[in-house]
Amino acid sequence: MADMSMVNRGAGAGKPLAGGVALVTGGGRGIGKAIALRLAKLGAAVSICGRNEEPLMRTAQDLRVLGVRVHAQTADVTRPADIALLVESTEQDLGPITILVNNAGIGGFGPFQEKSEEEWDRVLNTNLKSVFLVSRAVAPSMIRRGGGDIINISSLAGKNTFAGGGIYCASKWGLQGLSGCMAEDLRGYGIRVSVICPGSVATEFSGRGPKDAERVLTAEDVAHAVGMVVVQGPQSFISEVHLRPVKKP
């Protein structure tokens, strides 16, 4: 938070994040891509990672068109070695990370009694453990510099339950708890931790069935919320955002 205020002070009105560096996990497509583009338009240099190289490179090119510095790297954010290399490479190429967006996530729906232990591990490792691992890797540098923003992309499934959502809801309810505790652990260092909880979003994400485009959010809606969080005044932080479509699904 402290270093972010210094970034803002030297930036033009149209580029409030100029001088900042954002790392967005799962940044090659969908919500992650929209967030990366939003932060770039606000002036931040952007690092993106993902498991699949092709969409990652396409998004990296779209970011470069905006005139910002970009780092793109394939990485599995459930693996500490991949994360360490990602953070090191990002800071070598772009500078200290001032914004971390933990966006990487997967679905996994169906009656819990029909799910395997492997499915449980895959969803919980991606949606919850990765947030712990990446945040733990980035936090020490933010602590040394006295500020930063960590934004965790959760879901309204982290506040509600529904049939077939056992594994997914467990991952997002866990993320809610982790995010709140992270905020308390880090606020004394000037680091803001926020969680954004969207409802259904029209992306390639494997959800519970077809979605009516007029009754769901867009990836850009989530990106707008992230932009709102990172440009707020230095004396406050938005701890939790709930996003819903105007028309009920």
Q: Can you name the residues that pair with 195 across neighbouring β-strands?
A: 152, 240
The SS3 of residue 124 is helix
Contact between 24 and 48 (Cβ < 8 Å)? yes
* Cα angle: 100, vertex 202, 194; to 5 degrees: 25
The SS3 of residue 78 is coil
Contact between 46 and 22 (Cβ < 8 Å)? yes
- Which sign does the torsion angle of CA 151, 152, 155, 157 carry? negative
Q: How far apart are CA 29 and CA 31, in angstroms?
A: 6
When computed from its CA atoms, the radius of gyration of the chain, rounded to whole angstroms, is: 17
Residue 168 is among the residues annotated as catalytic for this protein: yes
Selecting among 168, 175, 186, 197, the annotated active-site residue is 168
Mind telling me the catalytic residues?
Answer: 168
